[in-house]
Structure 1
Amino acid sequence: MRRASTAMLLLAVTAGALTVCGEAVASPSAAATPSSASAPRTASAVPASGHQAGSSTLHMIKNHGHRLAFHVTSGHLPAIVLDAGGGNDSSYWKDLVPKLSAATGSEIITYDRAGMGDSDPVPGPWNVHAATDDLAAGLHQLGLNRDVILASHSEAGEIATYFARSHPTMVSGAVLIDASLPELYTDSEIARIVAATQPALAAAEADPSTQANRQLIATAESYVPMHKAYHHVTWPDSVPATVMVSEKTPFDGSPQDAQLWRDAATEFAHAGPHRTLVTAAGSSHDIPIDRPGLVLGEIEKMAATRG
């Protein structure tokens, strides 16, 4: 239970998953050129002249004084944003991006949240509203204001929920991949998670020198109030969503919590129109790693029907 809940606090971050690196960029010149605000995209957008299809270009986006790394693989609308779970950066999607680009022809965007990969750290407790604002700023500066599909894993489900609520006309649809959903966070479940995480948090506070421990501390500082508020947040009915839930969940070592995770996905799927529940049989919480074909297929479906 302690191991499962520690992972839950960062939403399925393991010691191995925390040691990650940024996604490769298309060329040194592309990596050195920050992006600036540009005109909104049109449905006929195509890869820039001279840009190899399937390769990505790094754009360093500025928001409230810090820089965020956005990796863009050129294509047409709808644009597909892949958002990794807690403790992972854009490299989490490195094997899926070229396949998704080839299958859909869509523009594919991955990015590093603040403090991850090539993005600047931001001091203080982790704040989902700031993270949502970072994503909005990045997409705006990349010229995207419509026809966006969110594919959000784990902790990124919280960002997707707030983003869809604040930009419902911008989001065409979402694929929520074993995502953290509001229905899970009853007062009793929050208390269970916090209590079980205390030993790991104490160890992190004793050695805050590593990125992993600093992230754990930052997440823990805001965890209770943020998730009490999140429990009352609803997904907008106008935005279709495919809800993918793993068989093993982040709580593979705790049957009670694993069932609550699956129940939350089911409740979310039944709570509004245009929602589909998909179970990834045999998969761990890392469905994009264990069942990449399933994830690819569901994103393709959403892009084909909602773009």
Structure 2
Amino acid sequence: MIPRPLAQRRTAAIVVTLAALTAGGLGACAASSDTATTTEQSAASAGSLHMIANEGHRLAFHVIPGHRPAIVLDAGGGLDSSQWHAIAPALAQRTGSEVITYDRAGEGASDEVPGPWKAANAASDLRAGLTALGARGAVLVSHSLAGEVATELVRSDPDRVAGAVLVDASLPEFYTDAETARIVAANAHQIAELRGKPQTRQTRQLLAQAADYGPAHRAYHRMSWPDIVPATVIVSSQTPFDTPQDARLWKAAQAQFAGAASNRTLIHADPSSHDIPEDRPDVVMKAVEDMVARVRADR
């Protein structure tokens, strides 16, 4: 499979497969200085900073005060809370809700953690932050790789999340054994090249996310989302892939997930790339507003 040219993608590392995580991730490293320069400005516009400890490392959470349910925005792979710099304050104004953004370990202002990236560890970090902030029954908004974090969180602590908006998210249905094996084999050379490059914070994060990819995603494929947690699924028109086979499977996985329970809704963000929060913030915000209204009505 051939990932899109870097010039066509603003935030290449957001894609959740090895194909784009490696070739795309190199572009993200090149653009990391731009991301870094916007992080402080974005965080400042997003409210107060809370450094919260979990398992020996600290994570940066940014909070715009407001009413409950809290809206929790989780960025795509290789990105930090600055992905939401425009959406977070707009949602706070339009819903009156508390809005929380955060940096996963190794991203933004959060501490780097050595070893392979695991969704369960990321979910533990998010849970620790929400516990410290007193946010329970939140509306979780998860883009791309963050879909794996969301799945781990709602499976282990379903009362933590009252509803979710999954934005072109990495969902278990996509990772059939055949597809996972194909991705790993097709990108082994790119992973080796990335290991040979100078190691920076960004390259270490990319390699951490690529480590144990096959076994982790074969196990992920067997997971399921609890039926008690409603979800809105937003799928992009382009998907993370240029190859038709992968794009079809990605869209089919989104539709399969959405159709598995009566409290799930599928929305097509047309036109859009995988980076829906950048291309179609209107679609994301409308879906979040609707989910917040649904959660409030149920209380």
Alpha-carbon distance in structure 2 between the residues aligned to 1:25 and 1:58: 11
Alignment-mate amino acid for residue 187 of structure 2: T
The equivalent of 1:2 in structure 2 is: 2
Alignment-mate amino acid for residue 173 of structure 2: E
Alignment-mate amino acid for residue 89 of structure 2: P
CA contact (8 A) 1:178 1:287 kept: yes
Residues 1:73 and 2:64 aligned together: yes
The equivalent of 2:255 in structure 1 is: 266
User: Which among 169, 173, 179 is matched to residue 189 of structure 1?
Assistant: 179
The equivalent of 2:265 in structure 1 is: 276
User: Which among 286, 294, 298 is matched to residue 283 of structure 2?
Assistant: 294
Shift of 1:169: 1.6
User: Which among 274, 279, 292 is matched to residue 285 of structure 1?
Assistant: 274
Residues 1:120 and 2:111 aligned together: yes
User: Which among 38, 41, 44 is matched to residue 24 of structure 1?
Assistant: 41
Residues 1:228 and 2:245 aligned together: no
CA contact (8 A) 2:16 2:170 kept: no
CA contact (8 A) 2:119 2:149 kept: yes
Alignment-mate amino acid for residue 190 of structure 2: A
Alpha-carbon distance in structure 2 between the residues aligned to 1:277 and 1:206: 41
CA contact (8 A) 1:174 1:239 kept: yes
Alpha-carbon distance in structure 2 between the residues aligned to 1:23 and 1:90: 10
Shift of 1:212: 2.9
Alignment-mate amino acid for residue 127 of structure 1: K
Alignment-mate amino acid for residue 156 of structure 1: A
Alpha-carbon distance in structure 2 between the residues aligned to 1:208 and 1:9: 22
- Give the TM-score, by structure 1 length: 0.86
Alignment-mate amino acid for residue 2 of structure 2: R
Alignment-mate amino acid for residue 222 of structure 1: D
> Aligned with 1:282: secondary structure?
coil
> Aligned with 1:200: secondary structure?
helix
Q: After the TM superposition, which residues 28-177 of structure 1 pair with which residues of structure 2 at under 5 Å, given as runs? A: 55-144=46-135, 146-177=136-167
Alignment-mate amino acid for residue 204 of structure 1: L
Shift of 1:226: 1.0
Shift of 1:11: 8.6
Number of equivalent positions: 279
Shift of 1:26: 7.2
Shift of 1:16: 4.6
Deviations 1:129-154 (A, max 9, x none): 1100000000111122x220100000
User: Which among 221, 234, 243 is matched to residue 244 of structure 1?
Assistant: 234
Deviations 1:36-74 (A, max 9, x none): xxxxxxxxxxxxxxxxxx750000000111010000011
Unaligned segments of structure 2, at least 5 residues: 5-11
Moved more, 186-195 or 111-120: 186-195
Deviations 1:9-35 (A, max 9, x none): 3696544544122343777xxxxxxxx
Shift of 1:170: 2.2
Deviations 1:252-298 (A, max 9, x none): x2111001000000000111220000011110000000001111100
Q: 1:55 to 1:83 in 2, by over 3 A?
A: closer
Moved more, 14-23 or 170-179: 14-23
Alpha-carbon distance in structure 1 between the residues aligned to 2:262 and 2:192: 43
> Aligned with 2:158: secondary structure?
coil
Alpha-carbon distance in structure 1 between the residues aligned to 2:186 and 2:210: 12
- Give the TM-score, by structure 2 length: 0.88
CA contact (8 A) 1:23 1:94 kept: no
Q: Higher helix proportion, which one?
A: 2
Q: Kindly, what percent of the aligned residue pairs are identical?
A: 55
CA contact (8 A) 1:96 1:292 kept: yes
**Coordinate RMSD, CA, aligned:** 1.9
